[in-house]
Amino acid sequence: MVPDRRNQWKTHKLQHIKNQTKRWYKINSTNELMHEWKAYFEELLNAKTNINPNTQAIPPAPEDLPINQGPITINEVEQAINQLKDGKSPGIDHSITPEVLKYGGRWIMNQLCNICNEIYNNQQTPKQFNTNIIVPIPKKGDKTLTTNYRGISLMSVAAKTYNRILLNRIREPLDSILRTLKKPSTQSIGKQCSTS
């Protein structure tokens, strides 16, 4: 078995890090390193937020929106796949990139369409769709501090496709409502022009 030199070097470089108390310590194994990153990102991503008690809830829509709730079609899958950006890293589905879905042919689209419909009908996403890989990316400053890293999440490409299908279904009905809410009245436009 050929050792993965790239990952070995990354692990070696990150073995001497400072935790958030800025105390040095040596990481003796990859498991310890992963535990340190996990603890850092859990704290970062699960920070408690202070919600203003005066914030008003968004009122429910006065009527049902005309959102397509029928089975997912092969055309919707194809449209969503074509909207994926090329050259993006895969998530937990390591070797499935957007290009694999785009150029994999009709059979792959049909399989993905069947999977999406099963998820949509059962209303249960597979674990792989809910699992992202967080990759630490260094910011400026001391690279031995975990706080000088930000994380990017790598999501499964199949999950991105499914999410895009749902987004495409809700976008137009929601956009039309948001446009009417944001549309300033002609009176307020006149006031803006006269005060400028």
> Does the pTM exceed 0.85?
no
Structure tokens at 178: 């948001």
**How confident is the model over 145-155, as pLDDT tens digits?**
778 888 888 99
In terms of Cα–Cα distance, which of 109, 24, 120, 35 is closest to 75?
109
Q: How far apart are CA 23 and CA 147, in angstroms?
A: 13
Q: What is the largest CA-CA distance in the chain?
A: 75
* CA dihedral sign of residues 176, 177, 178, 180: positive
For the chain, the average pLDDT equals 79
According to the model, what pLDDT value does residue 186 have? 46
**How confident is the model over 147-176, as pLDDT tens digits?**
888 888 899 999 999 999 999 999 988 887
Q: How far apart are CA 101 and CA 83, in angstroms?
A: 11
